[in-house]
Structure 1
Amino acid sequence: MHIGMLLPRHARFRGDHLAFLCGDQRFTYRAFNAYVNKLANAIRAAGLKKGDKVATVLPNCTQLMAAYWAAAKSGTVIVPMSPLLQDAGLISLLADSDTVLVLGHVSFTETFQRIRPQLPAIAADRWILVGDGAPPQGFRSYETFVADASEDNPPETGLTEHDVFNIMYSSGTTGLPKGIVHTHYVRAMYCMIFAMSFRIIPESVVLHAGSIVFNGAMVDLMPWMFAGASYILHETFNAEAVIETIAAEKVTHIVMVPAQIIQVLDSKAFTPEKLSSLEMLHNIGAPLLIEHKKRINELLPGRFYELYGLTEGLMTVLDKHDSIRKEGSVGCPPPFMEIKIVREDGTDAAPGEVGEIVGRSPCLMPGYYKRPDLTAKAIRDGWLHSGDAGYCDDEGYLYLVDRIKDMILSGGVNVYPRDIEEVIGQHPDVREVAVFGAPDAKWGEVPVAAVVLRSGAAVTADELHTWTNTRVGAKFQRITDVVFYDEFPRNVAGKTLKREMRDRYAPG
C-alpha cells in the first residue's frame, strides 16, 4: 500500500471528475493521471530507481504538483526546495539530500550553471528546466524530457507504506536546515486524518494560494487526493484573486497563513457574500491574533479552523465548532494523536501550567535525513519535543504561549512575545505585529515591537509605544521601541522571520 495508488484509483472510478486547476489548465482525474504518468515514466527512463532523490526548485505550477504524484508512483523520493534559495543554500541541500535529478524553473538557469560543477552526483542530462523558451546547452526542457514517455501507469516498483515519499527541509532560519523524512505511511495518515478533521469529501473544492513546497500545504493537498475532490492551485498569492476564485468556483476549503488571511479580510474586494461557499477558512503557520479570529467569526461564522503543528509530526486542530468556545486555543489532537505538557525535569505539567509541548502521532517522522544525533534529541521515548511553550486547559485543549527560542529573558523574567502581540494587535491602525527581544545592558533583553500599519494609518511610533505600555499586563511586558515595516520578512512558508528583524534592529 502506498499513496501512489490514489490517483490511478480516481482516474479509473471517477475519471471525469474535475481534479486539478492551475492557471488556465484544468484536468479531470483521467487527464491528470495521464499527465503525471508521463513524468513518472520519464523519471524511470532516465535511470532512476526506487529511493533515488528528485529535487524540485519550482514556484507553484502544474509540473510541481505532477512531480509529487510522479514520485508517489515511481518510488522516487521528492525533495521540494524553496525558490527563494541562493547558490550556497541550493548546493548544501542538493548535496545533503543525495539528489540525482533536478526539476527547476528556467529562471534559475544561471544559478544552476554556477552550481553544477559542485554537484557531480547530478548527471548533466538530469537538470530539467520548466518554463518557456529553448533551454541553454547542457540542459533539457521539461517538454523534451517527457515527450516520449507513456501516459500509462508506470510498472510497480515494490513500494510499501514503509518506503520514503519525501524529504522536507526545515525553514533554515537558524543553522543548517534539517531534512525531515516522511514515509508513504505518514502521508497516508495525513490523507485520512485531515480529510476527517476538515470534512473534505469528494464534492469539496480546495483552493491553495500559498506555496506548496512547504509542509503546511500537505494538510489540504493530501486529503484532496485521498477524497478525490477538486484542487485549485494559484501560482502566486493575491488577495483579490483568492476572493474572485472562491466566488467563481464555489470553493469550500482554503488554508492560509495569518498574513494572507489579513490581506483577504482587508481587501476592498472582500464581502462575506463572495466567500459564502466556504466551509473551512483555515489558519496555519503561526497563531492568528484573537482580534482577527473575532472578525472572521463575526463575518464568516462557523468556518474558522486553526492548526498548530510541526513538520516532524505533532499536530492539534481547532475545529470550527470550537473556535468561539475555545477562543485563543489551537485545538486538541486529532484521533490517534497525543500531546502533553512537560516541565523542565520531564514530569507532566498540571492543567494551566506552562511547559514544553510534546506529542506523538502516526504522522511522526522516522527521523532527520542522515542525522540520527538530531533525531535522538527531538524524539525521546517516542515523544517529539517541540521546543514550543504552551499549556492545556482542564479539557485538554492546547494554548500556545510562544516558541521557547523566541522567549525574551528580561531582568530574569520570562517574557512571551505573543502576550504583547495580542495587546498591540487590538490597535485599530495595526495590521500585523511581531515582538522580539533586543539586547540591553541593564536588563539583558527588552521587548521591541515591529509593526505593519493599515493603509492610511497615521499613528506614530511614540503614540503606539505609549498606547501599548498603558495596556500590557505587567511592567516587564512594556516595549522599549516600535519599528515600522512595509512588509515583514518571511520565508517561503509565509512565516515571519523574527530573527532577521532582530539582527537588523538598531535602536533609536
Structure 2
Amino acid sequence: MASMTSIYAEHAARRPEQLAVKTADREVTWRQWHRLVLQTAGWFHSKRKQNKTVGIFMENGLPFLQLFTGAAAAGWTAVPLHPKWSRDELDKRLRICSPAIIVMADNLADRHFLSKTDVFSWEKASEEMQLLPADPVEEAQEDLPFYMGFTSGSTGEPKAFIRSQQSWLASFACSRHDFSLNEHEYVLVPGALIHSHFLYGAVSTLFLGGTVHLLEKFSPAAVLHVMKKETVTVVYLVPTMIEALLRTNTIVEKPFTVISSGAKWEKDSKRRIRMQFPRLKMFEFYGAGELSFVTFLSNNENGEKPDSVGRPCSGVAIQVRRENGEVAAPYESGKIYVKSELVCTGYLTARGIQPLQDGQGWSTVDDIGYLDNEGFLYIKGREKNMILYGGINVFPEEVEAVLSLHPKVEAAVVIGMKDPYWGEVIAAVIKGSAAKQELRQLCRERVASYKVPRKWFFQEELPMTAGGKIARAQLREELEKKEDSHV
C-alpha cells in the first residue's frame, strides 16, 4: 500500500485543471496542488533532521493543509498546535512532542514563546519551497507515524496519541463505503483543521480526488453563502454548528450531504434540519481521535434510530463489556471496546509509545454504552464524566441533552460537585436566557427525579478546551472555589 499522498500524482494527471483546494482568495488546481505538496516535501527533506517532527502553529487555510500533506509525503510527523492555546497549554504540548521544526503563521510571531527549536515563519518557509524543484519524493512508509494529536487524560493533562499513515489509509475506506463518497465531491470544510474531524474531511477528500473548500473560520452566513454560490455536495459539521445554521431559519433547496461528529447529534435537531434543508442526506458517526471511525448512522437510519450512533463502520468490530470483562447482553450497559486497523499506534510516553490495544487487539477510550439486538450502538457517556450521586451513577450527557431542548438554552453543561452527604450533587451550568423553573420542569418530565440538577448556574461564557469542547474539570473547579468563598 502506498502513502496517503502518492495518489496525488494520479489525480493531477487525470484532472490537472480541476480544483483541488479553494479558499476565499485562492483557487489551486490538481496540477498546482501536486506541485506544491512535492515542493513542501522537498523542503522537509532539505532540513536533514533526525527527529522528523514538525509543529504547525497556524490558523485555518491552505498553508496549514499544504504543510500537513507535505510533511506526510516526506515521512514526517505533523503536530497541529492551536493558536488559541495559552502559553502554559502550548508549552505542555511542546514538551511532549519535542518538534525539530515549528512553522508558524506570520501574524502569530509575537503570540507565544515557543521553545528552543527551529522556528520558521510561513513567509520564509514558503519562499524557500518555491525555489525547490517539484521532484518526486521517496515513498513514506505507511506504518510510520505521520500525525500526532492531543487528548485529555483522566487528570485533565494533555496526552499525545500517534497515528500511522496506514490507519488513515484504512479509514478512507469508510468514506467510500459507509458515506458513499467519491472523486466527484465538492466538500465544504468550515471548521478549524486543528480538529481531527475537519482535518480528516479535507485530507480524505484530497485522497479521493475531490475538491476541498476551506473557510478561514466558521460562521453560519459564510457556510450558507458558499452553499448557495457553489455546487457543494458534502459539508463536515459538528452539532453546535448545525444548531447555529438552524437559528438562521434559512431554507436551502439544494441537495447535499452532512457528515456530523464530535458530539451526539440530538433527535430534535435532526427533525428540524430536515425542515430547513429538505433535500439533505445526513450521516452521523461516532469515533475518537485515538480510535478513528467506530460506528455510523446512515440517512435512513437517522430516521429509524435517531438516538443511536449507528452500526460498526467498515472493518470495525465492537464489544460492550461488563466490569468483570464479560461481553454484555443486548441493551446492557458497559464499557465500549473496538478492534480495527483504524486505531492509533498508541500514546506517547516518556518510555516510548504505549499501545492502546490489549493482548487480543481491543481498545477503549472508556466510553459507556450498549448495543441493541440489531447491533446498533447507543452512547450513555464517558466514564470519567460520570457523577456518583448517593451511590447512583448519572451520566451528564443524558441530562445535557434534555436541557438543550429548551429554545433559550445556547449551551448546557452538567457536572458533579462535591457534597458531604451525597458525595456529589448534580449541577447544571447554563448559557442562555432560559428560566431555571422551566428547565427544572423540563428535566422532571424527561428524566428520573434523581437526575434533576440540584444546583443551577447561569453564565455568559463557558470555558473551552483547545479541542472545542467544554472544559469540565476547569468549570467544576471554578464553581467549587466560588462556593467555598461564600461559606
The alignment's TM-score, normalised by the length of structure 2, stands at: 0.92
SS of aligned partner of 2:5:
helix
* 1:409-420 mapped onto 2 (5 Å cutoff): 409-420=388-399
* 1:289-304 mapped onto 2 (5 Å cutoff): 289-300=266-277, 303-304=281-282
Query: What percent of counterpart residues are identical?
Result: 25
CA offsets 1:409-453 (integer angstroms, 9 cap, x no match):
001101111222232222232233221112222211111122232
- Between stretches 372-381 and 219-228, larger displacement belongs to 372-381
Name 1:224's counterpart in structure 2.
205
Name 2:435's counterpart in structure 1.
460
* 1:272-283 mapped onto 2 (5 Å cutoff): 272-273=252-253, 276-278=254-256, 280-283=257-260
Q: Which of residues 251, 269, 287 in structure 2 aligns to 1:271?
A: 251
Matched, 1:286 2:263: yes
Matched, 1:478 2:461: no
CA offsets 1:390-410 (integer angstroms, 9 cap, x no match):
001000100000111111100
- Between stretches 396-405 and 216-225, larger displacement belongs to 216-225
- Between stretches 290-299 and 325-334, larger displacement belongs to 290-299
Name 1:144's counterpart in structure 2.
127
Shift of 1:373: 8.2
Matched, 1:331 2:320: no
The alignment's TM-score, normalised by the length of structure 1, stands at: 0.88
* 1:296–1:304 Cα contact (<8 Å) kept: no
CA offsets 1:321-369 (integer angstroms, 9 cap, x no match):
2101011000111111011100111000010011001101111112112
Name 1:36's counterpart in structure 2.
37
Matched, 1:206 2:187: yes
Name 2:422's counterpart in structure 1.
443
Q: Which of residues 121, 125, 128 in structure 1 aligns to 2:120?
A: 128
Matched, 1:87 2:87: yes
SS of aligned partner of 2:348:
coil
Amino acid at match of 2:3: H
* 1:22–1:61 Cα contact (<8 Å) kept: yes
| Structure 1 vs Structure 2 CA RMSD | 2.2
2:365 & 2:170 partners in 1: Cα distance?
A: 20
Q: Structure 1 residues 372, 334: CA separation in 2 closer, same or farther (over 3 Å shift)?
A: farther
Shift of 1:56: 0.4
1:247 & 1:267 partners in 2: Cα distance?
A: 14
Q: Structure 1 residues 374, 2: CA separation in 2 closer, same or farther (over 3 Å shift)?
A: closer
SS of aligned partner of 1:110:
coil
SS of aligned partner of 1:127:
strand
Amino acid at match of 2:34: N
* 2:85–2:466 Cα contact (<8 Å) kept: no
Name 1:179's counterpart in structure 2.
160
Amino acid at match of 1:88: D
1:174 & 1:130 partners in 2: Cα distance?
A: 35
Alignment gaps of 5+ in structure 2? none
Matched, 1:237 2:218: yes
SS of aligned partner of 2:224:
helix
* 1:378–1:386 Cα contact (<8 Å) kept: no
SS of aligned partner of 1:297:
helix
CA offsets 1:134-188 (integer angstroms, 9 cap, x no match):
xxxxxxx2343324222x13431x5222122111222578443222111111111
* 1:3-402 mapped onto 2 (5 Å cutoff): 3-48=4-49, 52-111=52-111, 114-116=113-115, 119=116, 122=117, 126-130=118-122, 141-150=124-133, 152-156=134-138, 158-171=139-152, 174-267=155-248, 270-273=250-253, 276-278=254-256, 280-300=257-277, 303-313=281-291, 315-370=294-349, 375=354, 379-402=358-381
1:84 & 1:414 partners in 2: Cα distance?
A: 35
CA offsets 1:218-267 (integer angstroms, 9 cap, x no match):
44223201210110111111111011111111211111122111111112
2:173 & 2:221 partners in 1: Cα distance?
A: 32
Alignment gaps of 5+ in structure 1? 132-140
